[in-house]
Amino acid sequence: MTNYLPVPKPVEASGSEPEIFHGKKILVIDDDKTICVLICEYLGKLGMDCLWTSVPRTAVEWIQEKEFDVILTDIYMPEISGHDILSLALAQLPHTPVILMTGNPSLHNTIEAIRLGAYDYLTKPFKMNVVEMTLGRALHYRKLVMENLAYQNHLEIQVQERTRELSDFLFHAVQSLSLALEARDPYTQGHGYRVGELVVKLAGELGVAEEEHQALRLASQLHDIGKIGIPDSILLKPGKLTTTEYDLMKDHVFIGYHILSPIPSLKEVSRYVYEHHERMDGKGYPRGLAGSDIHVNSRILMVSEVYDALATERTYKPAWPLRKIRDYFLEQAGTAYDPDVVNALLSLLDKEGEEILKLFQGGFS
């Protein structure tokens, strides 16, 4: 026996805004075809685009393939229940309200519908103006949800644009600061830039996520920023430093860390700066960290920084040839430097070592 009331003509006194229905897509599911036809006939007069089926499996396919503004489904149907349809719809179309309907109302059904996430619950036999009001509320809810999502997406795009602008500004400001620092010592001009180029190449060889490359490049630009606090008499000394002078020089990692760490966007960068003079065997400074206690990006930075120091002329040494550099890192792998990072460097040098060396010794100043 078909359980419905005759279809009345839609009336504006139903409490819904007529325009809320126009062009909206609804899926109606009921194993009683007559109910589907009557509901869609009524909703068509409201301007809705109504798709119906009395076969739940067809509804499952449509929910997986199409977009709907609202779904109206019976609970008790062969093979697939309305609760199954609800669960699928919530997974596939999380912003589409689902209204359950049944001719066997009970407190248990009502509670279960709410628990499963149904927007509302209709009891047969129902008046069409009640259906209209319920659908009007559901469509208004969806309208608010979609407007909120659009607003959030707009805000996210704005935040991304501002973040990108700030990141670019920060990078260029850092670059200027690094260049100002390097201007104190003609032998280290271009050092931060060269280390940045190599550190990104090594990160690529080691499979470091691209989103971390910018922080590594910034750390390369800033790893010696603490030398701002080191006297020229020590920083520019052509000969070997005394023990006291060397201890003062080591303070540059503390100074750099304290300059950078209060800046939230440079928190990770400050860690790499702080650790770039540690050693794998725990004999480095400032904390004597060893092995995996040193961040992998710090380990990449230390190899890149030392490579540049060896490959370029300094006040205390001439530039080293490529073979001597390779021999040094092979000897120090596992003691001073991470063997994986050293292997990545050697692989890179095998592929483009002479080109890198030429650029380091003349092209990046």
> Which residues are tagged catalytic?
227
Q: How far is CA 159 from the centre of its chain?
A: 13
Query: What is the signed CA dihedral for 152, 156, 158, 163, rounded to 10 degrees?
Result: 160
Q: Where are the alpha helices (DSSP H) in the chain?
A: 33-45, 56-65, 82-92, 107-116, 128-182, 191-206, 213-222, 232-235, 243-260, 267-275, 296-311, 322-332, 339-358
Quote the tokens at residue 94: 């999380």
Query: 3-state class of 72 per DSSP?
Result: strand
Q: What is the CA radius of gyration of the chain?
A: 34
Q: Are 305 and 253 in contact (CB under 8 A)?
A: no
Which of 103, 144, 97, 138 has the alpha carbon at shortest distance from 116?
Answer: 97
Contacts of 313 (CB under 8 A, 6+ apart): 187, 319, 361
Which of 276, 310, 280, 306 has the alpha carbon at shortest distance from 293?
Answer: 280
Positive or negative, the CA dihedral 344, 350, 351, 354 is positive
Sheet containing strand 120-123, strands side by side: 49-53, 25-29, 70-74, 98-102, 120-123
